[in-house]
Structure 1
Amino acid sequence: MPWIDDPQIALRVLCGIWFVPHLLGKLMHADLAYLTFERAGFKPGKMFLYATVAMEALAMIGLVFGVMPKAAAGLAAIVLAGAAYAVVKINGSNWRWQKGGPEYIVFWALCCVISVV
């Protein structure tokens, strides 16, 4: 597999694959997920839920398959910035992910961008 030989491409693919559980979680638990959006101030929650699912799916496809990867990474970073905002809004200003902070989300967003520059 040629993408394994290039660390930057491998990072891009992994960044895309990490969206799979997030997408599945949102879709399988949409009845609860939309409430999280509303708690973060994104109303109507169902609209933001499905818009986020669509953006994450596009970012995932672009990153994994190399389809417009820079646009996909930008879209991923935007979605993840929204997620980081939501985490801080709901959980307070903790940085560490163990305390409900955005540390992991910010790291993931940076990896998405780094994977295409």
Structure 2
Amino acid sequence: MVVLGDHRPYLSCLIVPNFEELEAWAAEHKVHAPDRAALLREPAVLAKYQRGLDRTNSKFPGFGSVKKFALLDRELTLENDELTPTLKVRRRVIQKKYAAVIDGMYGEAANV
């Protein structure tokens, strides 16, 4: 998970699901999709992650809670320069690479 919010009206985050766990959950709940990207757009999957985010947000004050999220259909990797050799997230790279996704979370700021 990469939490974002510098110079933005609220916090948002990019979530990289554990696909092995998610695919098992989807099979158990009879949620079918042709590929990972389609699975991440399924309403039941989005609701699952929203519930998890709501549980986490309940531990923080309003300004510290994440208002929007996006699910990424692939893991962040060292090879794509998204992680450092010690597996820390390269925030600037992520913000640049996923700028359209991030901007999309803030384009609907009035709906928060």
What TM-score, normalized to structure 2? 0.30
Point out the structure with the larger helix share.
Answer: 1
Point out the structure with the larger strand share.
Answer: 2
